[in-house]
Amino acid sequence: MTSPHRSASRSVVWLIATLALASCASHPPVRDVDEAVRDIRAEYIHRNPHGQFNQNIERGEVVLGMRFEDVLASWGIPDARERESDGVHERWSYSEADPWNHDWVRYDLVFEKKSLASWETMRNVSSSHPLTGQPSAPVPPQPASPGGIMGGGVARR
């Protein structure tokens, strides 16, 4: 038989985990970009001074409702682009990798009628190194797993 305290503590842990995941899903993703994309942002905002998403673009965010042009100004050209045969849906993918430990993050942005409708964030943590900061020495190459991805599993938010 489970004690009432143990059941309550599990409920609290479950509630905290659910709230944390919900907050991650609702917060706009931000992507670090190079100098060329920062120049594109500045020019886009200069040419569209009253743009609805200018503050988000300045911060490097993507938010629901952005058009293709807004996302391109904020994040640059996607690494991959898939267009559905229905002509309504399109998926853009952006990836970032850490060369030190093979960790990576992929953002899949889903557009409906050329407007950002949703996104999915996937993360691969292949080592025990923290995602912030770098290890003191490079991690030696590891053999690829059967799925072709180096190391650990994928966490979806």
Judged against a pLDDT cut of 80, whether residue 55 lies above it is answered with yes
Confidence of residue 19 (pLDDT cuts 50, 70, 90): very low
Q: Which parts of 6-148 are beta strand (E)?
A: 80-83, 89-97, 104-112, 115-124
Cβ atoms of residues 97 and 103 within 8 Å: yes
Judged against a pLDDT cut of 90, whether residue 30 lies above it is answered with no
The residue that leads in pLDDT, 95 or 27, is 95
Global pTM value: 0.62
Q: In this predicted structure, what is the pLDDT of residue 84?
A: 92
